[in-house]
Amino acid sequence: MIQDRCNRQVRTVGIMARPADDQGGPSELIWIPLPSDFGSSDYSRRRAKALTKHLSAIAETKAELLRLFDSWVLPSSDLRHYLGAHRQVETARKLIELLPPPVLKIVLCYLVANYWERRSGWPDLLVYRADQWFLAEIKSWRDKLNENQKRWIEDNHRYLHLPFKLVQVHRLECNVSASA
């Protein structure tokens, strides 16, 4: 959908491949088709009809969605490098296993509406147990929310309506006395 060569705005760009691990090492140049306005709100407005059609065709069951995801992994390799998501395949697959497909569609719609503005600020954890889940932002007693996190919380309240908790962790003082 994103790299659709029928889209007049798609052009070929070169990016440096990110290493498979954090060790650095030699990188190679990857040439990929990308819309010139990808990730912006202009892109989502311009492609609204095609995006709606594409997202509405996404499978409704987890099994179907996992098959679709697995078929997208290889063709999306270069795009995932561009997005910095090249190492998150297993994490993405796990999200599909855990979260209901309608929730995943809501998240995808939210992200595609303005990816570069909405990609950061997401909570630290997905807490899951027996079909119950919530997102959690963890803060120490000294830590404060940054602007992206505040924006995500507000957007979640307005658009996403995902279960969310802000968890403040306090340091416990432990007085251990030496005994003779």
Rounded-to-integer distance, Cα 63 and Cα 69, Å: 10
Rounded-to-integer distance, Cα 17 and Cα 27, Å: 6
Taking a C-beta distance cutoff of 8 angstroms, is the pair 138, 167 a contact? yes
Q: How do residues 128-172 score in pLDDT, each as one tens digit? A: 998 899 999 999 988 999 999 999 999 999 999 999 999 999 877
Residue 173: pLDDT band (50, 70, 90) is confident
Nearest in space to 58 (alpha carbons), one of 95, 99, 104: 104
- Lowest mean per-residue pLDDT among 20-34, 80-94, 105-119: 20-34
Residue 28: pLDDT band (50, 70, 90) is confident
Q: How do residues 40-89 score in pLDDT, each as one tens digit? A: 999 999 988 888 888 888 878 889 999 989 998 998 888 888 888 888 89
